[in-house]
Amino acid sequence: MLSQRFILGMGLTILLVISGTSIALDTKSRRDSYETDRTVATLKQFADLKVQVRAAEAAARGFALTGDDGFANEFQQAREAIAPEFAGLLGAIDDPAQRSLLEETSALVQRRLAIGDELIRSRGAREGAEVSAGKMVREDRDMARTVTANLDKMQAEQRARLARQTADTRLTGRILFIVDLCGVALILLLAGVLIREAGRSRRQLSDSLDASRAAAQSLKASVAERSEDLVAAHEELRRSSSVMESTFRSMAEAVLVIDRNGEVMLSNPAAEKILHYRPGMNVVNQRSPSFRADGITPLPDEDRPSARALRGEEFDDLEFVARPGGGEAQVQLVVSGRPVREASGAISGAALIYHDITASRETERKLQQAQKLEAIGKLTGGVAHDFNNMLTVITGNTETLVTGLQNLPALRATAALIDQAAQRCSELIEHLLAFARRQPLHPRDIDVNAAIADVAKLLRPTLGEQIEIATVLDPGLAAAHLDASQLANSLLNMAINARDAMPSGGRLTLETRMVTHEESGLDSPAGSGPGRYVMIAVGDTGSGMPAQVREKVFEPFFTTKEVGKGSGLGLPMVYGFVTQSGGHIRIDSEEGRGTTIRLYLPPAEGAAVKAVPKAEPATGGNETILVVEDDPLVRNFVTAQLAGLGYRAVAAPDGPSALQKLKNGERFDLLFTDVVMPGGMSGRQLADEAQKIRPDVKVLYTSGYTDDTIMHHGRLDPDVLLLQKPYRKAELARLVRQALGS
């Protein structure tokens, strides 16, 4: 019993010892589990801290490269999260050495955040991003290594501590298992309870370890996902930057971004081509002459686009004219400007976009000039009609007076002066009609080189010995289908103008050459005319013309000569002849460098050469002629002249009246009709209706100027015979006989 009691006592003692030991071991196991959880939490805090530090660094660098406010916000969020992370770690670590190392690391991280904050501030203040980025790289590189090394070291120590705690926990479990086995012999229930308790502890430890592993995997996945997002964001940023740079460099408009001092910070290739501005240049110091849109009024410095934008003005479609140095042509520009402001609203620079409108303005100017010349041409054509009607009466009657006053010399001389004045008026009207392209042409295939050589011979006595005449003729020049007399008159007019521009003598050059459309430099599209032109150039070494004179030389009555020394119809006549012949004219002239006028005429294309008919003698006849003329003075004059030539003349004031006479059965050998008449019927329409009634009736047209009813493309229709007003009795007699005999 004693032994049993002893054994029981021993057993109880052992049981108590085992129980105490089991309790002690269980308590230690729980404490180890708690410390393990703290260690795992500390590791997670270290991982979160490293993520926040890297996020802050990435956001600061992203803002330095792009200036995107989103990166600045990310930096501030990461910075605000880092301080609590350090505080939490300092509270969780009880090792003095690790606490000291963590405090040192915290100071380094705060220094790195201060550098990032300084980078964001300097980038927002428009300071050089490259300088800030360089500063961050230099100052941050060593600190980054130190911070990373410290955090890695403390993480490694925590992992080692976790490993030791895990090993201790496992050892405690084994010891507890052995104690439990030893106590099985004494009390199986107690041993079972102890075993169950030990098993439960092991399960809790295993669950804790599994949770730690899961947290580590989750943290690893989160870091990997964040890294992938950063890589994708960087690639998207690189692609967007590449697209923006390609677009910026390919823009036709000149783009400038300047700082508050006027220095160019950013420019595209068009800015260098149009404005000659490059990064680093100062637009305030590079002040080429600038003018307002009229090209005359100087543009004050305070009204320049850069000055206005730096004052805070926003503007669009500001037009001005820039005249670069080095002899380059002036450029007409339209500019839009906007100030560049900081976050505080202060102006830190300006953005300017320039559009070159020189070509469009030149096209508008030429169109306006062409419209003006067309309007003047229509006006002069209408005026010429009435003038020629009156001149027909004047010249015819003065011719009769001159003939009838043979025995009165004084009156005959007066009549001759009137006749000469009328002839001069007739020539002026002829020049006006040539300008208005209403002068009937009589084109034929001509040898242009031979025609110019003949004109050159006539020019030598006309221009004087002080003018040297040179000819440069292309031996391969094609024939041209032109009115030879009009070409000769045009060359004579241009030569006289050249002589007047060389009062002290000089050189006149007559040149011919075959040129292509591209070589001609004409503005008209290549498909609108012939592929090749017969080019005739008349150049002199005279005083030249300023731009304001050059733009008006083809306007009728415009002249720079003294009163009485020029009518202002020479070059307008040349202009009308060339354009009516299907060609183009161009004038190149500068003050002090002479003038060259180039005529571009279409070459002949197999047109039949027509012999010039010989003038028939002025004879009369006894045929009956129906005269249709709306002007009563001209009508009475013509009927009197025809009667004087022996003809029987019957007059009608308009087309319907003349047509009624034909319908009434009156017999006429010739219909002599004006082309332009009132009453709704032109001379051509009257002739067509008359020939339906009398197919054998002959037709002779007359007109003060010719419209499109009997003339097309500057040439009379093949079946048309025209007597141009004003005419003399001899011309009337010759054309009437020619019409009756046709």
Residue 256: phi and psi, rounded to 5, are -125, 140
In CATH, the architecture of 444-601 is: 2-Layer Sandwich (3.30)
CA atoms of 380 and 387, how far apart (whole Å): 10
**DSSP for 635-661, written as a single string:** HHHHHHHHHHTT-EEEEESSHHHHHHH
**In this structure, are residues 101 and 72 in contact, taking their beta carbons and an 8 Å threshold?**
no
Residue owning tokens 């006989």: 737
Residue 189: both structure tokens together: 């229930």
Helix (H, G, I), strand (E, B) or coil at 613: coil
Helix (H, G, I), strand (E, B) or coil at 336: strand
First to last CA, the chain: 176
Residue owning tokens 């009137």: 418
Which pLDDT value is given to residue 426? 63
**In this structure, are residues 730 and 736 in contact, taking their beta carbons and an 8 Å threshold?**
no
Which pLDDT value is given to residue 433? 58
Question: For the chain, what are the domain ranges?
Answer: 2-245, 254-356, 444-601, 624-741
- Helices 683-693, 655-663: crossing angle, 10 deg rounding: 10
CA atoms of 83 and 78, how far apart (whole Å): 9
If you ran DSSP here, which 8-state letter would residue 326 be given? T
Fold of 624-741: Rossmann fold (3.40.50)
Q: Which among 683, 740, 741 has a CA at the least distance from the CA of 717?
A: 683
If you ran DSSP here, which 8-state letter would residue 628 be given? E
Which residues are CB-neighbours of 418 under 8 A, at least 6 positions away? 394, 398, 401
Which pLDDT value is given to residue 608? 41
CA atoms of 619 and 738, how far apart (whole Å): 10
For residue 363, the tally of other CB atoms under 10 A from its CB is: 12
CA atoms of 192 and 82, how far apart (whole Å): 50
Q: Which among 424, 349, 385 has a CA at the least distance from the CA of 674?
A: 385
**In this structure, are residues 650 and 627 in contact, taking their beta carbons and an 8 Å threshold?**
yes
**In this structure, are residues 116 and 65 in contact, taking their beta carbons and an 8 Å threshold?**
no
The segments of the chain whose pLDDT lies below 50 read 1-2, 4, 127-129, 131, 525-527, 563-564, 607-615, 713-714
Which pLDDT value is given to residue 610? 44
**In this structure, are residues 575 and 513 in contact, taking their beta carbons and an 8 Å threshold?**
no
Helix (H, G, I), strand (E, B) or coil at 738: helix
Widest CA span of the chain, in angstroms?
198
Which pLDDT value is given to residue 611? 42
**In this structure, are residues 570 and 560 in contact, taking their beta carbons and an 8 Å threshold?**
no
Which pLDDT value is given to residue 502? 85
CA atoms of 321 and 437, how far apart (whole Å): 36
CA atoms of 478 and 616, how far apart (whole Å): 33
Residue owning tokens 């009229």: 294
- Helices 570-580, 484-500: crossing angle, 10 deg rounding: 150
For residue 702, the tally of other CB atoms under 10 A from its CB is: 25
**β-bridge mates for residue 339, sequence order:** 350
List the alpha helices (DSSP H) in 341-408.
358-404
CA atoms of 529 and 22, how far apart (whole Å): 116
- Helices 188-250, 2-66: crossing angle, 10 deg rounding: 0
CA atoms of 217 and 40, how far apart (whole Å): 12
Exposure string (b/e) for 73-90, b if CB count within 10 Å is 16 or more? ebbbebbebbeebbeebe
Residue 156: phi and psi, rounded to 5, are -60, -40
**In this structure, are residues 708 and 438 in contact, taking their beta carbons and an 8 Å threshold?**
no
Q: What does DSSP say about strands 670-674 and 624-628: parallel, antiparallel, or unpaired?
A: parallel
Q: Which among 703, 483, 455 has a CA at the least distance from the CA of 607?
A: 483
Return the half-sphere exposure (C-beta side, CA atoms, 13 A cut-off) of residue 452. 27
Residue owning tokens 């329409």: 685
Residue 471: both structure tokens together: 């000819």
Q: Which among 217, 206, 211, 218 has a CA at the least distance from the CA of 166?
A: 206
Strand segments, DSSP code E, in 392-479 are 444-446, 467-472
Which pLDDT value is given to residue 427? 59
Q: 3.30.450.20, 3.40.190.10, 3.40.50.300, 3.40.50.2000: which CATH number matches 254-356?
A: 3.30.450.20
Which pLDDT value is given to residue 194? 56
**DSSP for 659-702, written as a single string:** HHHHHTT---SEEEEESS-SSS--HHHHHHHHHHH-TT-EEEEE
Angle made by CA atoms 125, 128, 130, in degrees to the nearest 5: 135
State how far the alpha carbon of 521 is from the alpha carbons of 232, 479, 518, 586, 587, in Å. 54, 22, 6, 9, 12
For residue 34, the tally of other CB atoms under 10 A from its CB is: 12
Which pLDDT value is given to residue 606? 55
For residue 473, the tally of other CB atoms under 10 A from its CB is: 16
Q: Which helix (H) or strand (E) holds 259?
A: strand 254-259
